[in-house]
Amino acid sequence: MGRRPEYRPEKGARHSEQWILKLKHFQISVIHQKRNAETALLPEKSEPTSLRIMKLSIKAIIPTKGSRFAAGHDIYALTEGLVPAKGQMMVKTGIAIGLPEGTYGRLAARSGMASYMGIAVGGGVIDADYTGEVKVILRNHDKADCLYKAGDRIAQLIIEKIANTDTMEVDNLGVTKRGKMGFGSSDLNPKRSITAKEEEVKICFLHADTSENEFFTAVDIGYHPRLMEEKDMLSSTHVNAALTRTMNDAFLDKIRMAGKEDEKWQDRGRELVRLRESGKKIPDEWIEKDGLLYYKNRLYIPKDEALQTEIAQGCRDSLVAGHFGQEKTIEIVTRDFYWKKLADWIRDYV
C-alpha cells in the first residue's frame, strides 16, 4: 500500500514514493487440527429405554407385573421379618435397578396390604443415578404386628417420567389468580371444570369364541350400526360374570386334575360319595356330581395357586371397566366359586 497520490514524485512530492506496508510486515499462520480416528469411529452412546434389574442375592426375585396393563412391578421381600404395630421396618429386596433416562422410580403400597393389613410404604423415591440395593420402608398403621415371609410381594415399583430442570433465581414469579392463597384456599370457592360419568355395559353380543364378544354402553344405543341389526341381544351390567359362568369341559377337567393334588378336597369328595352310597343324609350345603364338588351351589376349587389366579383374573379384568377393586372382585368370584379363605386370598391378590 503506497502513500497518498499527492506525495508521489509525479505530483510534485519532495520525497520519493514509500510503501507503508510491505510483505515483510505480514505473517501467515496455518492452524491444523488433527482428528482422532479412533474417536471418530466410536458410535454415539444411546440411553437405555427399559428397566434393568441386577440381582444382588441368589435368593432375590425379579420384579413382576400382576397383569399386562398393571402400572407397577411387584417388589418381593428377600427375607422374612415383622413390622411392629404402629411401627415401621426397612425391608431388603436383594436387587438393584437401572432406570431409563428422564424417569425415576416410585415405591408405592400394594392395595391388598394397604386395605387389609394397614401397611403403607414410606420414602418411595428412587433416583435414576442410584444403583444400590432397593429397600422398602413398610409402615404398619394397624394395631397388630404384621409378619411377612421371604418372597412376599411387599410393594410395587412405578416408573414415572420427570422434567430434569435447573433452578434460577428471579425477582418475581408473575401474576396468577390464586397468588399467595395457601392451605384450604381452593375449598372456599370450588369450581368443577370436568364432570366425569362412568358408563356401564348395557348390551353385549356373546359368541362361541369369547375373543369376538362385543360390548356396548348406553351411549351406543340408538345410533351404533351394530345395534341396528336384527340380532339376539343379552342385556347385562356384569358381562365379566356372565363370561366366567361359561365353563367349558377343559376348564372343568383342570379342576378335577387340581383336586387330585389336594388331599382335603379328595377327603371331602370321598366322604360325600360314602354318605350317598350308604343311603345317609348328605349335608345340604354340599353336592358331589361328575367328579366335582359344589358348596352352596358354588364350585369348590381345590388348593391350586395357578387355578385360583386364573379365576381371579377372569373376574377382575373387565374389557370395558379395566380392573375391579377388591370387594367387587370378591363379589363376582363368590357368585360361582368357593375355596377356603377366598376373601383373604383375593384381597392379597388384588
Q: pLDDT tens, 248-304?
A: 677 888 888 888 888 888 888 888 888 888 888 888 888 888 888 888 888 898 888
**227 and 263 in one domain?**
no
Domain that residue 203 falls in:
199-237
Q: pLDDT tens, 110-139?
A: 888 888 788 999 888 999 999 999 999 999
CA angle 297, 300, 304 (to 5 degrees): 160
Higher pLDDT, 335 or 300: 300
CATH of the domain at 79: 2.70.40.10
Note if the pTM is more than 0.85: no
Name, of 57-66, 273-282, 311-320, 336-345, the range with top average pLDDT. 57-66
Q: Is residue 27 part of a domain?
A: no
Q: Are 154 and 63 a contacting pair, CB within 8 Å?
A: no
CA dihedral 287, 293, 299, 300 (to 10 degrees): 120
Q: What is the DSSP string of 240-302?
A: HHHHHH---HHHHHHHHHHHTT-HHHHHHHHHHHHHHHTTPPPPTTEEEETTEEEETTEEEPP
- By percentage, how much of the chain surpasses pLDDT 70? 65
Q: Is residue 294 part of a domain?
A: yes
CA dihedral 49, 51, 55, 61 (to 10 degrees): -150
Average pLDDT of the segment spanning 322-344: 79
Q: pLDDT tens, 20-61?
A: 555 555 565 555 555 554 444 555 556 677 899 999 999 999
State yes or no: pLDDT of 106 exceeds 80: yes
Taking the C-alpha atoms of residue 20 and residue 25, their distance in angstroms, rounded to an integer, is 10
Q: pLDDT tens, 168-222?
A: 888 888 888 777 877 766 666 555 555 555 556 556 666 656 666 777 666 666 5
Taking the C-alpha atoms of residue 60 and residue 150, their distance in angstroms, rounded to an integer, is 9
**308 and 209 in one domain?**
no
Higher pLDDT, 350 or 343: 343
Start-to-end CA span in the chain (Å): 91
Half-sphere exposure of 231 (CA within 13 A, CB side): 14
Instruction: Tally the domains of the chain.
Output: 3
158: cell is: 412405578
Distance from CA of residue 76 to its chain's centroid? 15
Taking the C-alpha atoms of residue 122 and residue 108, their distance in angstroms, rounded to an integer, is 8
Q: What is the pLDDT of residue 91?
A: 94
Boundary of a domain, candidates 237, 264, 284? 237
